[in-house]
A and B are shown apart, each in its own frame.
Chain A
Amino acid sequence: MTSSGPTIVSLHGVGKTFESGTVALENFNLDVKEGEFVSLLGPSGCGKSTALRIIAGLSVPSHGSVNWAVGEETSAGRLGFVFQEPTLMPWANVAANVGLPFKLSRVAESYARECVDRALERVGLRSFAKAYPRELSGGMKMRVSIARALVAEPQVLLMDEPFAALDEITRFKLNNDLIALWQMLKRTVVFVTHSVFESVYLSQRIVVMTPRPGRVFVDIKIDAPYPRDERFRTSAEYGVLCRTVSEALGQATAEGGAS
């Protein structure tokens, strides 16, 4: 799997100033290649979530432009989005939550049910289809959220610190599952995180951002081969990569703080 595919979406000189006067992003440039796993890494308040919401079309940039490759417009079903919280509908059971994208785009029910079954199978929750969100653990809720994001087979999966609220054991497990899913489905993933270790473990490419205003500080390639597993997590190579990225993050934070 390479990260040298054609560009699927690119952000040119994107800036975002909120009504309160906060400058979240300034002259932010990013090219996302088809099929790659790229992480946006930065301290909280560096605008990485804002950048993700702009890519999703949930937020409108104040300056600059977002360009999609031809035929890859942000129409419904093109994108999957996973929030920091599971963001499930508590009144609907797991199957109904996962099937939401189909319900809203009025897809035939039999086809939808098939896709929902497959999506639940992929995240290992097939037997929980009839359960309600409150009956699930935090990690299972997040799996449902991921299943919902993947159910319509989107071209791009956008994830906004999806595992930040989970305990470490669950987070490691979901990291592994996410890598497996990504390798199986070959979709583009843009992953926002403030964890150096998580970003190194998951990504092919890490975009380190400066805070206030958010800008790209450095773009780091992570060349370690997939599949990555627990052996990679404890390897010397991983340690070195983490140190490199950590230093870059430190410099980025210092620079942002100074300006």
Chain B
Amino acid sequence: MSDRALRIVLPAVVLALGIVIWALVVRLNDIPPFVLPGPALVYTTLVHDWGLLADSLLVTLITTFEGFLLAAVGGVGLAVLFNQSRLVEYSFYPYAVMLQVTPIVAIAPLLLIYLPQPAAVLVCAWIVAFFPVLANTTLGLNSVDHNLIALFNLYGSSRMQTLWNLKLPSALPQILTGLRIAGGLSLIGAVVAEIAAGSAGAGSGLAYRIAESGYRLNIPRMFAALLLLSVAGIAIYFALSYITHLALRRWHESAIARER
């Protein structure tokens, strides 16, 4: 079997085995659904509650997407600003790091006090997601070939021309790496904020559904919502990987398949 087929078949077999074992453990031990629902029950719950869960999924995905967009614009924008002025970089970089190392779970409740809930959730998603974009873009902008910079200077390139025609394209692989990390993180940020807001009860995202189902001991729905969150995360990762592949396939070493 080809390497490519194995890469698809093997995880699928592991998944199928896992589901069978899960179903057997639940059936043989007679575990009640409010402790651990079997895979079939989770599936029927998913189908039965689809209307409710799909609405929640949409809410969470929109938040994630908005947080991701803000993180992309904010991360790349800040990195460009830092790259243009060392004084700005020295002044603000430590605080960007501080935002990153402070656990978001600890910040979320505070944000929920000062901001309306949708805004707070969005800010959470942004805080978690922007730093990898900033850090990677900064690395990319600082790794530009020095001789190419000299060449641009020789031809009288303006700052904007150098930024647009040299620095940003050169940093593109690192920017895309940052975005790929940010995609997953903005989902995490959105979920954390929804969970933190859960008791306030105004939300309707998937994480809110999980918290709410937990209070009601509706364990099958918790599992169904969790499953949707995982699938959403995987879809985001693959979408961003595909975009990276499209953008780099012509020229970057990382995207080129080598014959061995």
Q: Give the interface of A toward B (CB within 8 A).
A: 53, 56-58, 75-77, 79, 81, 83, 85, 87, 89-92, 100-101, 103-105, 132-134
Chain B 48-78 against A: per-residue CB contact (8 Å), 1 yes, 0 no?
A: 0000000000000000000000000000000
- Asked if A58 meets B154 with Cβ closer than 8 Å, knowing A90-B252, A104-B165, A132-B251, the reply is yes
Which residues on A sit within 8 Å (CB–CB) of B172? 91
Known contacts A53-B150, A58-B153, A104-B155; can you find 8 more A-B pairs with CB under 8 A?
Answer: A58-B150, A58-B154, A77-B155, A81-B150, A85-B147, A89-B166, A104-B156, A104-B157
Give the residue name and chain of the B residue nearest to A79 (CB): B154
Segment 236-260 of B: residues with Cβ below 8 Å from A: 250-253, 256
Which residues on B sit within 8 Å (CB–CB) of A85? 147
Most buried by A among B145, B165, B251: B251
Tell me whether A105 and B156 are in contact (CB under 8 A).
yes
Task: Flag whether B177 is at the interface (Cβ < 8 A).
Answer: no
**Chain A's nearest CB lies how many Å from the CB of B173?**
9
6 nearest CB pairs, A to B: A76-B156, A87-B147, A104-B155, A91-B169, A90-B251, A104-B157
Segment 144-178 of B: residues with Cβ below 8 Å from A: 145, 147-148, 150-157, 161, 165-166, 169-170, 172
Q: How far is the CA of A132 from the CA of B150 in the complex (A)?
A: 22
**Chain B's nearest CB lies how many Å from the CB of A66?**
14
Tell me whether B154 and A134 are in contact (CB under 8 A).
no
Which residues on A sit within 8 Å (CB–CB) of B170? 89, 91
Tell me whether A76 and B250 are in contact (CB under 8 A).
no
**Chain A's nearest CB lies how many Å from the CB of B123?**
34
Which residues on A sit within 8 Å (CB–CB) of B250? 91, 132
Tell me whether A81 and B165 are in contact (CB under 8 A).
no
**Chain B's nearest CB lies how many Å from the CB of A231?**
36
Contact of A91 among B151, B161, B251 (CB under 8 A): B251
Tell me whether A81 and B169 are in contact (CB under 8 A).
no
Tell me whether A87 and B145 are in contact (CB under 8 A).
yes
Contact of B156 among A58, A75, A83, A132 (CB under 8 A): A75
Q: How far is the CA of A103 from the CA of B164 in the complex (A)?
A: 12
Contact of A57 among B151, B154, B165, B253 (CB under 8 A): B154
Most buried by A among B151, B165, B172, B250: B151
Which residues on A sit within 8 Å (CB–CB) of B151? 81, 83, 87, 100
Give the residue name and chain of the A residue nearest to B172 (CB): A91
Which residues on A sit within 8 Å (CB–CB) of B252? 90-91
Q: How far is the CA of A165 from the CA of B23 in the complex (A)?
A: 64
Tell me whether A56 and B165 are in contact (CB under 8 A).
no
Which residues on B sit within 8 Å (CB–CB) of A81? 150-151, 154
- Asked if A76 meets B155 with Cβ closer than 8 Å, knowing A91-B172, A104-B161, A134-B251, the reply is yes
Which residues on B sit within 8 Å (CB–CB) of A76? 154-156
**Chain A's nearest CB lies how many Å from the CB of B126?**
29
Q: How far is the CA of A105 from the CA of B165 in the complex (A)?
A: 13
Most buried by B among A77, A79, A103, A104: A104
Which residues on A sit within 8 Å (CB–CB) of B169? 89, 91-92
Q: How far is the CA of A100 from the CA of B251 in the complex (A)?
A: 17
**Chain A's nearest CB lies how many Å from the CB of B251?**
5
Q: How far is the CA of A87 from the CA of B251 in the complex (A)?
A: 14
Which residues on B sit within 8 Å (CB–CB) of A103? 165
Q: How far is the CA of A79 from the CA of B154 in the complex (A)?
A: 8
Can you list 17 A-B contacts with CB-CB less than 8 angstroms, sorted by A residue number?
A: A53-B150, A77-B155, A79-B154, A81-B150, A83-B147, A87-B147, A89-B166, A90-B252, A91-B170, A91-B250, A92-B169, A100-B155, A100-B165, A103-B165, A104-B155, A104-B157, A105-B156
**Chain A's nearest CB lies how many Å from the CB of B10?**
32
Q: How far is the CA of A13 from the CA of B250 in the complex (A)?
A: 48
Which residues on B sit within 8 Å (CB–CB) of A77? 155
- Asked if A105 meets B251 with Cβ closer than 8 Å, knowing A83-B147, A87-B145, A87-B148, the reply is no
Give the residue name and chain of the B residue nearest to A83 (CB): B147
**Chain B's nearest CB lies how many Å from the CB of A13?**
24
**Chain B's nearest CB lies how many Å from the CB of A197?**
26
Q: How far is the CA of A83 from the CA of B151 in the complex (A)?
A: 9
Q: How far is the CA of A134 from the CA of B156 in the complex (A)?
A: 27
**Chain B's nearest CB lies how many Å from the CB of A174?**
19
